[in-house]
């Protein structure tokens, strides 16, 4: 699998990585969810070069994850807002943060906490079944061929066709 061909793979993970599978892209998305919208603010927070930042913002905009909106004409200035497609990445970003909180935070603890506005409680994200609501654990999930499957490379070994 070549990096520039991930978008063409029959694997949803590979296609997703073709959009967000870069460290700068994930950090840009983190900052978007924290309310950052302007180029200079991204650059100040991330310390990334202008060229890399410009490239990643362009990729996210072309992928429909961000929308580029002019806020000034002279000189031209834009801000970047999450689209509905971008907002759908929130569980992904929050899951990565939670993993980091559990395994990378160190003795000082979590760098940030998340509070649910509706109930006022601090929370940990939980992946649950959309049908029964039970938490999902890897050992309790079967991966089956779907209608968009074009080959067996991305199925578990036990689910692959014999012969």
- Digit-coded pLDDT (tens) for 77-111: 999 999 999 999 999 999 999 999 999 998 999 99
Kindly report the number of other CB atoms within 10 A of residue 1's CB atom.
10
pLDDT at position 82? 98
- What is the CATH architecture of 3-140? Orthogonal Bundle (1.10)
Instruction: For 103-118, give the DSSP string.
Output: HT--TT--S---B-TT
Mean pLDDT value across residues 124-128: 92
Q: Report how far apart, in Å, the C-alpha atoms of 4 and of each of 1, 9, 24, 89 are.
A: 9, 10, 17, 21
User: What are the start-end ranges of the H helices in the chain?
Assistant: 12-20, 23-33, 39-46, 50-62, 84-87, 90-103
**Lookup: tokens for 132:** 């029964």
pLDDT reported for residue 156: 72
> Taking all residues of the chain, what is their mean pLDDT, rounded to a whole number?
90
pLDDT for 16-59, tens place per residue? 898 999 999 999 999 999 999 999 999 999 999 999 999 999 99
């Amino acid at each position: 699998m070549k990096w520039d061909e991930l978008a063409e793979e029959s694997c949803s993970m590979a296609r997703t990585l073709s959009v967000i599978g870069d460290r700068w892209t994930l950090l840009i998305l983190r900052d978007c969810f924290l309310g950052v919208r302007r180029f200079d603010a991204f650059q100040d927070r991330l310390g990334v070069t202008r060229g890399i930042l410009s490239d990643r913002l362009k990729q996210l905009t072309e992928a429909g994850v961000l929308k580029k909106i002019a806020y000034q004409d002279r000189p031209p200035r834009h801000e970047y807002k999450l689209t509905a497609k971008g907002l759908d990445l929130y569980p992904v970003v929050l899951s990565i943060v939670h993993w980091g909180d559990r395994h990378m935070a160190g003795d000082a603890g979590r760098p940030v906490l998340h509070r649910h506005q509706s109930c006022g409680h601090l929370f940990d994200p939980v992946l649950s079944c959309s049908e029964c609501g039970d938490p999902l654990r890897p050992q309790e999930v079967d991966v089956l061929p779907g209608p968009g499957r074009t080959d067996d490379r991305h199925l578990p070994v036990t689910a692959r066709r014999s012969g």
